[in-house]
């Protein structure tokens, strides 16, 4: 079940969510059973490792800037779609 506090922060907008994420980077953003739209999700900065509302791990479909920055920091070739898919799947 999604954490209500996290949903409340997400609903405050991208700026508030990203600020909270920067301050709480150790917490994993589980969106399972959350009621959020693709547009709201696409406005996020980082979703790497998140569990999406359908129960699957976030797969990078929105090419979020924060995810790409983290992948680069970890040495992932962000221009290689196969490498990115493995990274999002937790295989890299």
57-76 average pLDDT score: 92
What is the residue range of 76's domain? 4-89
Tokens for 33? 């059973």
How high does pLDDT run on average in the chain? 84
pLDDT at position 92 is 55
Interval 42-53: pLDDT, tens: 888 888 888 887
Interval 7-28: pLDDT, tens: 888 888 778 888 888 898 888 7
CA distance to 9, 12, 19, 21, per residue, from 16 (Å): 7, 6, 5, 9
pLDDT at position 73 is 92
- The count of structural domains within the chain is 1
């Amino acid at each position: 079940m999604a954490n209500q506090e996290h949903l409340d922060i997400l609903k405050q907008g991208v700026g508030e969510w990203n600020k909270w994420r920067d301050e709480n980077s150790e917490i994993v953003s589980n969106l399972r059973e959350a009621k959020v739209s693709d547009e709201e999700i696409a406005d996020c900065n980082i979703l790497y490792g998140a569990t999406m509302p359908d129960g699957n791990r976030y797969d990078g479909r929105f090419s979020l800037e924060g995810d790409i920055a983290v992948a680069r920091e970890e040495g992932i070739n962000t221009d290689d779609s196969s490498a990115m898919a493995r990274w999002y799947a937790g295989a890299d």
